[in-house]
A and B are shown apart, each in its own frame.
Chain A
Amino acid sequence: MDDLTVSSPSPLRRLSVPTSGVAWLAVPCLIALPFVGISEYAIGIFTLGLFFAVYAMGWDLLFGYAGEPNFGATFLIGVGAYSAAMLNSNGIAPPWICILAGAAMSVAAGVLLALPALRLRGPYFGLVTLVAVLILRQLIILFSHQTGGEIGIAVPEVLALSPIANYEIALGCAIVSAGVFIIVARSPFGLILQAIGQDPLNAQAMGFSSVKYKLAAFCYSALFSGLAGALMTFYMGTASLNIFVDAAVGVQIIIAAIIGGRRTIIGPAIGGVFLIVLGEYMRPFGRLSELVVAVVALLVLLFLPNGLLGLVKLKRRAH
């Protein structure tokens, strides 16, 4: 084996799929995408896909690295989305302030969600996160005067009118999130996080106090999930339960991450866009579409458990 490591900038080149070259090429392509003559409708789908990609990456940091199965991604997203929407609909603050406040609220929600994670293991924690979503739903219904209840809450202002501008905003959010997640995952922090996720006792015996790392991982995940949630609220013009606070959406996020490939950050992002595009493509088939998407996801789960990027990784290793 030739010794490339000395010259390579990071010794952690294997930590994620080594696609940095492809990634640098992909960024300008993605920025240029809306200008190559695709329909406004298609641009809209990709915009949604990019938000979804951020959610899936946030989930991957928690599960793939910290080992915490979060079935309540929409708890974090929902808090961000509703905080922003409520601030704006009451005319308290302009959009950008609302969005930042939404992200901040989501971090607070992340800390709240991290508390049980420090006490409970695996499946029990998964249940708490699932229940967290159900409780948030109930609370939103309970305070329907402020939150719009089951109907949802309209956001009067918009960030941008043109689909292209909205797309670029979503893309910016996705690129920044991906950048931060990748840096975090490949850094010493990410390495320690993985060690804690795999064997907390062993990691502690190596001198790492697991609490602060886990807490930080929840904060990173919540920050970008909340940010994307708040941005998406302004894009959609409304915050509603079935989009932002739904256990089923949380499951879709997990499926996106698994399809793309766990523990790769970029994989879940691809999976997120793929799932939204597939769902849209199947839309003419009505209810049958959801059935087909679920079957496809199940087949991937059973026959490609490491996801699409997992497949690439295996191929590379074979060489």
Chain B
Amino acid sequence: MLLEAKDLRKRFGGLHAVGGVDLAVGEREIVGLIGPNGSGKSTLLSLLMGIHRMDGGTIRIGKTDITGWPPHKIARSGISMMFQHSRPLLQQTVLENVLLALLPDRMFNFRFSPELVTRARGILAQVQLAEAADRLPGELAFADLRRLELAKTLAAQPKLMLLDEPFAGLSAKEVREFSVLIRAMREEGRSVVLVDHNVKGVQALVDRMVAMSSGTKIADDRPDHVLADEQVRRVYLGSRESSAAVATAEVRSEPILEIADLSVQYGKATALDKVALTAQRGAVTAIVGLNGAGKSTLFHAVCRLVQSSGTIRFGGQAVADRPDQIARSGIVLCPEKRELFGDMTVFENLRMGGSHLAAPDFRQRLDFVETLFPRLAERSKQNARTLSGGEQQQLAIGRALMMKPKLLLIDEPTLGLAPVVLDLISETIERLRASGELSLFIAEQNVTFALRHANSIHLLEQGQIVWSGPTHRFADEVGHKVL
């Protein structure tokens, strides 16, 4: 074994980000690390690189025990990491950025040897960036920037490469090209651990797949076995049985939200590409897709929290320009990160949501929310930051409901929640639908959950809508892609 990590543990406050994980990587092996958002994949990589101090466990590379080493020593022992969000030095050329990664850790070194420059050019050629060597990173396309990061990772001649989301933001064609590069590294005798949300994308590439959920390893096997594993399907894809049980009828009413030609750029990466969709009044609409597909970006664009181009109409009118105006006009977002006021009590959080209501209205609304979530009434005087994850989600939805939304956008309502809370959220969505006073638009990576509630579904892949239609047709027509 090249790498042997045993019983790795890391706590952030009360959260067990990684709770006792074993990971072994052999020579010339590509291991895929999968799992939903927040399952601890990236934290695990950081532990291997020494970026976070471990709370327990041991790591060996070859015969060397590197437990507790600082990152720069680990880097010199044969592990290198490609970060998900790393920025090149913008004032230096592509070549100089690679040269940096080739430099020895010596202070009195005032000259670049020609031999290093030759090596840097060689590495650039390897990732097909040779022509861009003398350009500045700012002039590169997004995919080429990722190639540059890969080149920097390669420069250290690592035995083991840790790649955090190497495919994020890449098109299908670019993903294929990158996969070829990664395979070539295995041919050179290196091993790779890569983290990705794009399960289908990595399935063909990896020799072995490790699935994580809530900080623990739940499967470690050949890719097809892992993807067939019942527990993996349940936490990552949603379980199959319940999906068959529900088929919600299509709603034919006038649209409450109409989106056309909506595009969003994050620097050079295209997050949304000419998205067009509608949500019907009185219905539950769902947008599904893998993490990173652009679901949150879509919601943020609707609420004008990010810059976008295209048109968004709400109830037949163009939406306002500022996020606060939009919130007051009836489109309320319950964001993935919840954005609660941590140092305020539950009641104070709800009161902030109901700030724009007159006193009698406020009372009535508070009753409504507290009936929906009796837990919030019990915890009324407790600080929001001390609530459990499920309670925080209830508070986030409750606070959004205090705004009397006409259209409620809920981003990942079930993310990281225990099954029991999930049922409660399910129930809430059905009760809100039954109340008839608002329309719902949910973004979910848990397709099963979406299928259970939505009247119509949109499937988002890498910033583009690839399928839209009523829920009952989803499983037959595109189910194979996500289920």
Contacts and interface: CB of A to CB of B under 8 A. Distances in A.
Direct contact between the two chains A and B in their complex (CB within 8 A): yes
A250 B93 CA distance: 33
A146 interface: no
A204 B96 CA distance: 18
Given A206-B156, A208-B72, A12 B96 contact: yes
A188 B96 contact: no
B110 interface: yes
Contact of A205 (B75, B99, B117): B75
Contact of A207 (B76, B111, B135): B76
Contacts of B86: 199, 202
A188 B110 contact: yes
Given A201-B51, A205-B83, A1 B72 contact: no
B87 A198 contact: yes
A5 B134 contact: yes
Given A183-B110, A187-B110, A204 B71 contact: yes
**Chain B contact residues: helix, strand, loop or mixed:** loop
B51 A14 contact: no
Given A5-B133, A187-B111, A188-B111, A206 B101 contact: yes
Interface string B398-430: 000000000000000000000000000000000
A14 B86 CA distance: 21
Interface stretch (A26-34, A189-197, A226-234): A189-197
Given A207-B156, A208-B105, A11 B95 contact: yes
B181 interface: no
B125 to A, nearest CB: 14
Interface string B54-78: 0000000000000000111101100
Contacts, number: 101
B51 A15 contact: no
Given A205-B80, A205-B83, A5 B156 contact: no
Interface string B16-35: 00000000000000000000
Contacts of B117: 5, 11
A42 B278 CA distance: 73
A189 B110 CA distance: 6
Nearest to A3: B134
A189 B107 contact: yes
A212 interface: yes
A207 B105 contact: yes
Contacts of A188: 99, 103, 106, 109-112
Contacts of B112: 10-12, 187-188
Nearest to B138: A317
A216 interface: yes
B110 A184 contact: yes
B91 A14 contact: yes
A191 B96 contact: yes
Size range of the chain B interface in the assembly = 35 or more
Contacts of A96: none
Interface in A1-28: 1, 3-5, 10-12, 14-15
Interface string B108-137: 111110000100000000000000011110
B203 interface: no
A144 interface: no
Interface string B77-94: 000110100110101110
A206 B100 contact: yes
B45 to A, nearest CB: 10
A14 B75 contact: no
A59 B75 CA distance: 31
Given A1-B134, A199-B87, A205-B83, A11 B99 contact: yes
B159 interface: no
B49 interface: yes
A12 B117 CA distance: 11
A17 to B, nearest CB: 11
A184 B49 CA distance: 29
Given A5-B133, A189-B110, A202-B83, A14 B72 contact: no
A137 interface: no
A198 B89 contact: yes
Contacts of B103: 188, 191-192, 208
A180 to B, nearest CB: 10
Contacts of A183: 110
A206 to B, nearest CB: 5
A192 B100 contact: yes
A188 B106 CA distance: 9
B298 to A, nearest CB: 30
A205 B109 contact: no
Contacts of B73: 209
B152 interface: yes
A3 B93 CA distance: 13
A5 B95 contact: yes
B163 to A, nearest CB: 13
Contacts of B105: 207-209
27 contacts: A5-B95, A11-B99, A12-B92, A14-B91, A14-B136, A15-B92, A184-B110, A187-B109, A188-B106, A188-B111, A191-B96, A192-B103, A194-B89, A194-B92, A195-B89, A198-B87, A199-B87, A201-B71, A202-B83, A204-B51, A205-B72, A206-B72, A207-B72, A207-B105, A209-B70, A209-B72, A210-B72
Query: Shortest 6 CB-CB distances between A and B: which pairs?
Result: A207-B75, A187-B110, A204-B71, A209-B72, A188-B109, A204-B72
Given A188-B103, A188-B106, 16 more contacts: A5-B117, A10-B112, A12-B92, A12-B96, A14-B96, A187-B109, A189-B108, A189-B110, A191-B100, A198-B87, A204-B71, A205-B81, A206-B152, A207-B72, A208-B72, A208-B105
